[in-house]
Amino acid sequence: MTTIAGVATATLLDDLRVLVECESPSSDLAAVARSADVVARVGTERLGVAPERLVLDGRTHLRWRLGDGPRRVLLVGHHDTVWPLGTLATRPFSVADGVVRGPGCFDMLTGLVMAFHALASLGAATDGVTLLVTGDEELGSPSSRGLVEDEARLASAALVLEASAGGGALKTARKGVSLYEVRIGGRAAHAGLEPERGVNATVELAHQVLAVAALGDPRLGTTVTPTAGTTGTTSNTVPAAASFAVDVRVRTVAEQDRVDAAMRALRPVLDGARVQVRGGPNRPPLEESASTALLGRARAHARDLGLPDLVAVAVGGASDGNLTAGVGTPTLDGLGAVGGGAHADDEHVLVEPVAGRTALLARLVADLLDHPSATTNAAVPTGAGRP
């Protein structure tokens, strides 16, 4: 199989098999802990040093701080997946016709293995690199958010090993996410005998759902979507309580703030009804400005390696790259696998691009270590930071 700049695809795929075959659904704390053991073992074999094991709210994260110097480059990934235990029985790891299949291979275990091999190819020249592998990203990073943000504040650049967008595109912008629950209080009454004595929480819910949905702005790419809802207890009772969830996606912090203010300004329509809003911004947007300089460096190195031109896209989904950019750290996301089917039955990784993208990651890390100004728009010389 392919070898580029010291990156051997066959060995990388062997490591990937080990990770995929240790299932790691985010909601199963024991499974995530077992997965962390496996990831730590594989990473230690490649990097020559064991990670710190960080358990926060029962969730297991790993951190490699390489060298003793100041932290300059942060690599971010996660080892939890969306697939329940037992998925391997029907979707085993396989490599056939240039395609890897298996639960979590695309999102995002290949990215982790790429990080191990990229850093290993640099030998001892990794002083100042931190590799952070979290165990709850698929849940929205509830326990690891502070960890990601703290590490990002120490670094001059963050490289996120999430899978690429279509065709290998890097993700230079991600929408921010806000999550809300709207709770409605009414007053119960018999629906047949004296409904006028009640305050109908279902009717109030209908008013609030329409008000919330109207907060979206397609021109700006802002979506405000009422999702799961509950109301009432029996078919002959005026409901006394109701609730619904709201998913918000925005391209800018300004839009996130606007929607948040509007959500908190919701007021009941029916006399006697009560409205309570819980939640708020979950992840800030990754705006294109946070990625511009790093994208330019990556494109130059890709050309130098003879790789296809790198395309950049904006996507709606969020990642820990939103968090690193949110604290002001220049961030480049989507540096991981090329393939598709994230969270779907056809999840897969294309083998052919793996070695080249791993070599690109190594080149970018070396460049950022050698040239801290790489997060500005200065031109990159051909061959700069070559491992």
Among all residues, which ones are annotated catalytic?
Answer: 80, 137
d(CA 237, CA 228): 21
d(CA 336, CA 364): 13
Number of other residues whose CB lies within 10 A of the CB of residue 41: 14
Judge contact between 340 and 362, C-beta under 8 A.
Answer: no
Cα 376 from chain centre: 24
